[in-house]
Amino acid sequence: MIPERLVNWIVFAGLLAVPLWAIVVDEPFTITLVTRAVILAIAAVGLNIALGIGGLVSLGHAVFFGLGGYAMGILAYHAQTYTSLDLFGLSLAGTKSMPIIWLVAVVMSALAAWIIGLLSLRTSGVYFIMITLAFGQMFYYFAISWSTYGGEDGLSIYVRNGFPGLNTLVPIQFFGLCFALLCIVLFLNARLQNAPFGLALNAARQVPTRVETVGLNPMRLKLVAFVISGAITGLAGALFADLNRFVSPTMFSWQLSGELIVLIIIGGVGRLYGPVVGACLFVALEHWLGALTEFWHVYLGLILLAIVLFARGGIIGLLTGKEGAHV
Amino acid sequence: MSEPILATRNLRKSFGALTATDDVSIDLYAGEIHAIIGPNGAGKSTLIAQICGGLRPDAGSVHLLGREVTQDSTQARARAGLGRTFQISALAMEDSVLENVVLGALGASGNPWRFWSRALSDASLTAKAEAALERVGLIEHRHTRCAELSHGQRRQLEVAVALTLTPKAFVMDEPMAGLGAEGSKLLTAFLDQLRAEAPILLVEHDMDAVFALADRISVLVYGQVIATGTVDEIRQSHAVREAYLGEEA
C-alpha cells in the first residue's frame, strides 16, 4: 500500500506536469482538457465537504455550479453589451474582472446554499436527496425560461474575462489560475477537515445523537458545511463558464449533480484528493472513450460499479488501503 | 432533603394506546446512584429519552438543577450539565478513541466554530480528553480506531466521553450491558467513585451491579413506578417481588 500523502503528491505533480508537457509538444487542447479536470475537481472538492465529511448526499449541487456560471454569464454579458444590470432599483454595471465575478459567484452560491440547507436539512436520507434534487430542477427550469439571459440557448461570452497581470486567453495562464484556486481550496479543505469544526462535522455524519449529547447541534454543523461546500462549487461554476465562454441551463441539470457525486465516489469519498482523482479520470474517459463511442458513459458506469462493489474507498482507497467515509 | 439535581415530575408519554411512561416522578440527589430497574418494555428507554431530550413528554416536566428543561433540546440539556451514555454505543467508529473523546471536550468548550487550527493539536481539548481516557483506563488505546475496540472498551469510551463534559448529573443506560464479569466489576468500582462527583441515574439489568451500587432503586413496571426505596426496601417489597423479581428472589 502506498501512503496517502505520496499518492496526493503524485496526483498534484501529474496535474502540473501534463500541461507543462503540453506546452513543450505544443498541444494547447490538452491544457484546456486538464483545466476542465481542475475546475471539475474544485466543484467536487466543494461537494466532498458536504458529502464526504458531513454525509450530505446532495443531488442539487448543480444549483451552485449553475449560479456561479450565471454570475459570470450575467456580469460579463452586461459588460460586453455595455448595458446596465438593474437590480432592486439599483443600476449596476457589468464586469469582465474575474476576482469580482468570483466574489459574486461565491456570495450568491453561499446564500443559496444557506437557504436550501435551512429547508432541506430538516430532512435526512432519501428525503434530503429528493429535496436537493427538487431545488436543482427548480433552478434548471427557471434558467430555461429566463429569456433575458438566453433561456434554453444559454449565453455566449465572446472574450474570456480578465485577471490582473495575466492574459487569461493563453491556455496555460488560465490553467495556472484555476490550478492555484484548486490548491487554495484543497488547502482550506485539509485545514477544515482536521480543525475542531471538521472533527465535529465528521462525528455528526457518523453519530448525530452523540454530537447532540455533547451539547453540539449537528444540524447547524451540517448547514455551515453545506454553505462552505456550495460556495466552493459556485466558484468552480464561474471558472467553468469562463473556460467554455458559455453558460446554459445544463449547468443546473441534475445529471451534473450526479456526475459530481460519481466522480467523488470513483476518487474516494471523504478523501482529500478523491475528487481530484475522480475529476481527472472522468475528463480522461470523456475525452478518449468519448472519441471512440458516444456511449462512453456505459464504461464509466462499469468503473463505478466495480468501485462500489470492490473498492469502497475509491481509487485513493485502492492505492492507500484506506476506507472511504461511510455515508 | 436538599433540592434534587435531576427530577422528573409526572412524566407521561403514550404511543397510540400504549402508555410507555405513566406519571413518572423520580428524583436524583447529589452524591447518589439512583437505579431504575424494570422488565423489558417497562418504559425505561422512553423515560431516558424524555429526560435527555430525545422525546417530548405528553405531560409532566423534567428539571435539572432546579430549572425546568422539558422543552429544551438534547444539546441544551447537555450544555446545562446532563451527561449521558447510551445502551448501544453511539461512537464515531471511523475515528480514533482520542477523536471521540476530543469531541466531548469540544462540546464542553461550546465552540466548534474553529476552521483552521488542528483539533488534535489543541492542548486544552486533548488534555481534557486524555484525562478522561486515563480515568477509564483507555489511555493506551488513544490512537486505536474506535471500530477496533472490544465491546467492553467501547462501554468505557462511552463513559469517558461523558466525563469530558464534567456533568452535573449522569444518565447511564445499561452501562454494564455485554460486559463480562471482570469488566462489570471494574465499571462498578468506577461508578462507585464517580457518584461523589455527580449523581448517577442508572438504568441497568445487571442486578448484582444495581444492588452493589444503588443508594435508591425505582422499579418501573408497565410505565409506572411501583416502588422507590433503598436496596433493602426494594428487596423486601412484596409488590416488587411479585411484579419483577419473581417470588423466588
Q: Are residues B77 and B180 in the same domain?
A: yes
Dihedral sign computed on CA atoms, order A95, A98, A100, A101? positive
CA separation for the pair A67, B84 (Å, rounded): 44
Residues of A with CB under 8 A from a CB of B: 191-192, 194-200, 202-203, 206-207, 209-217, 221, 224, 323, 325-326
pLDDT at A88: 83
The overall longest dimension of chain B from CA atoms, in Å, is: 62
Is residue B98, in this structure, part of any structural domain at all? yes
Is residue B182, in this structure, part of any structural domain at all? yes
The pLDDT of B117-135, averaged and rounded, is 96
**Of A80-94, B7-21, B137-151, the least confident:** A80-94
Which of the listed residues B117, B142, B166 is the one where a domain comes to its end?
B166
Which residues of chain B neighbour A199 with C-beta distances below 8 Å? 95, 99, 102-103, 106, 112, 119
CA separation for the pair A189, A177 (Å, rounded): 18
Residues of B with CB under 8 A from a CB of A: 52-54, 73-76, 78-79, 83-84, 86, 90-95, 99-100, 102-104, 106-108, 110-120, 122, 125, 161, 164-165
Q: pLDDT tens-digit profile of B170-226?
A: 999 999 988 888 888 989 999 999 999 999 999 998 888 999 999 999 999 999 999
Which residues of chain B neighbour A213 with C-beta distances below 8 Å? 52, 74-75, 78, 83-84, 86, 90
Which of the listed residues B166, B189, B206 is the one where a domain comes to its end?
B166
Which residue in B95, B115, B116 is closest to A202 by CB distance?
Answer: B95
Is residue B87, in this structure, part of any structural domain at all? no
Asked if residues B169 and B198 have their Cβ atoms less than 8 Å apart, the reply is: yes
Helices (H), A250-295: 254-267, 274-292
Q: Are residues B202 and B220 in the same domain?
A: yes
C-alpha cell at A132: 436537493
* Contact between B94 and A207 using a beta-carbon 8 Å cutoff: no
Q: Are residues B63 and B12 in the same domain?
A: yes
CA separation for the pair B233, B216 (Å, rounded): 9
Q: Are residues B158 and B221 in the same domain?
A: no
Is residue B86, in this structure, part of any structural domain at all? no
From the CA of A3, how many Å to the nearest CA of chain B? Answer: 18
Which residues of chain A neighbour B86 with C-beta distances below 8 Å? 209-210, 213
Please report how the helices A28-48 and A4-24 are oriented relative to each other, as an axis angle in degrees rounded to 10: 150
Number of compact structural domains in chain B: 2
Question: Which positions of chain A have pLDDT values less than 70?
Answer: none
Nearest to B224 by CA among B74, B8, B28, B55: B8
CA separation for the pair B145, B236 (Å, rounded): 46
pLDDT at A86: 87
The pLDDT of B116-124, averaged and rounded, is 95
Asked if residues A27 and A171 have their Cβ atoms less than 8 Å apart, the reply is: no
For residue B249, pLDDT over 60 is answered with: no
Q: CA dist A134 to A129, A130, A137, A264, B46, Å?
A: 9, 6, 5, 21, 36
CA separation for the pair A239, B156 (Å, rounded): 50
Which of the listed residues B166, B188, B207 is the one where a domain comes to its end?
B166
Q: Are residues B6 and B106 in the same domain?
A: no
Q: Are residues B23 and B142 in the same domain?
A: no
pLDDT at B237: 87
* Contact between A215 and B91 using a beta-carbon 8 Å cutoff: no
Q: Where are the domains of chain A?
A: 4-320
Is residue B121, in this structure, part of any structural domain at all? yes
Q: Are residues B178 and B149 in the same domain?
A: no
pLDDT at A325: 84
Q: Are residues B128 and B77 in the same domain?
A: no
Is residue B96, in this structure, part of any structural domain at all? yes
For residue B246, pLDDT over 70 is answered with: no
Which residues of chain B neighbour A231 with C-beta distances below 8 Å? none
* Contact between B95 and A203 using a beta-carbon 8 Å cutoff: yes
CATH classification of the domain holding B61: 3.40.50.300
Nearest to B50 by CA among B15, B16, B88: B15
Structural domain range at position B239: 1-81+168-249
Is residue B5, in this structure, part of any structural domain at all? yes
- Mapped onto helix, strand or coil, the DSSP state of residue B34 is strand
| Options 1.10.3470, 3.90.1570, 3.40.50, 3.30.720; CATH of A4-320 | 1.10.3470
pLDDT at B241: 81
Residue A187 buriedness (CB in 10 A; 0-12 / 13-18 / 19+): exposed
Q: Are residues B218 and B121 in the same domain?
A: no
The pLDDT of B152-178, averaged and rounded, is 93
* Contact between B112 and A197 using a beta-carbon 8 Å cutoff: yes
